[in-house]
Amino acid sequence: MSASALRARSIHSTTSFVFPARSPTVGLTCASAILTTQLSLLGRLYHLEGLSYFERLRALSRERQTLLCVGLDPDPDRIEGGVAGALRHCRAVVRATEEHVCCFKPNSAFWEQYGPDGWKALLELRDEAPATPFLLDAKRGDMDNTMRAYARAVFDTLGMDAATVNPYLGRDSVEQFSAYADRGVYVLCRTSNPGAADLQHLEAEGTPIYRHVVDLAERLNGRGNVGLVIGATAPAQVAEVRKVTGLPFLLPGVGAQGGDVEASVRAAWNGDPASCLVSASRSVLFARDPAAEAAALKAQINAASGVRA
């Protein structure tokens, strides 16, 4: 049985969960407790088959012949109807594009902005595609005990398969996430934004900060579940980092940010299906035809990597 079929069977053979409606007869504390319990139980159900995130990612990448990840970042300036509209729009995109992707990547901020209903909507969206890994782009970074709470929220409560983290606070911070052996952790290395070079290119002991992050990630990878975030807007750095590590790369910045798909994919790809996860958000999410946009981007990525389409 394929990894995706096994994963789907694990989910759909379980009891359905109903989120508590707001009601004057149910106290807020009670409703919150019920919701938290249901979310936590639902989160665990996504991982019953015992495969790690990167194992699922590799299996699905081979099965669907894709390295594409689609971001699910609803913008209230572009999607009407509040959280219900956001869920409706993103659910339609998931249904339209799932066959072309090996991962979905919701950014936590775009769901947090809707308050508690945003978290509930994210879990409903996650249940739309139980066979496909969800990577929460949260960029968490804090003291170790705080990171432990963040990790519980992301992995235990929300049931996400992977997450992005900020390495600025060092090893004891990031390892609260990497301790979850079956989940993936992508460490920010060289990001895709215009200001990335302000700090990440500064040198310490003659080496750019982003290269020190690579060393940190290697030390944290004892469980084989750590990767790096390197923007497709910086193909030279993608190539430089690939020369010194075999860790999986998450390549954001494709599409609206103008990242160089061909150069970045060729630099990142090393034959491992997990080596080069290419993420596009707005260019697919707000496309007139998300399925066609995802299919075209998938083909472009496959052509650059040599993956059979």
* 203-258 tens-digit pLDDT: 999 999 999 999 999 999 999 999 999 999 999 999 999 999 999 999 998 866 66
Q: Give the separation between CA 130 and CA 83, rounded to whole angstroms.
A: 21
Catalytic (active site) residue 139:
yes
**Are residues 225 and 186 in contact, defined by beta-carbon separation less than 8 angstroms?**
no
Write the pLDDT tens digit of every residue in 49-71.
689 999 999 999 999 999 999 99
What residue numbers bound the domain in which 78 lies? 3-305
Give me the catalytic one of 120, 139, 243, 298: 139
- What count of other Cβ atoms lies within 10 Å of the Cβ of residue 18? 8
Which pLDDT band holds residue 47 (cuts at 50, 70, 90)?
A: low
When divided into structural domains, the chain yields a total of 1
pLDDT above 80 (res 23): no
**Are residues 289 and 108 in contact, defined by beta-carbon separation less than 8 angstroms?**
no
pLDDT above 50 (res 269): yes
**CA distance from start to end of the chain:** 22
Across 25-49, average pLDDT = 45
Which pLDDT band holds residue 259 (cuts at 50, 70, 90)?
A: confident
Write the pLDDT tens digit of every residue in 72-124.
999 999 999 999 999 999 999 999 999 999 999 999 999 999 999 999 999 99
Q: Kindly give, in sequence order, each residue whose CB lies less than 8 Å from that of residue 68, ignoring residues fewer than 6 positions away.
A: 100, 101, 102, 278, 280, 294, 297, 298, 301
- Which of 301, 295, 282, 297 shows the shortest CA–CA distance to 78? 282
- Residue 177 maps to which CATH number? 3.20.20.70
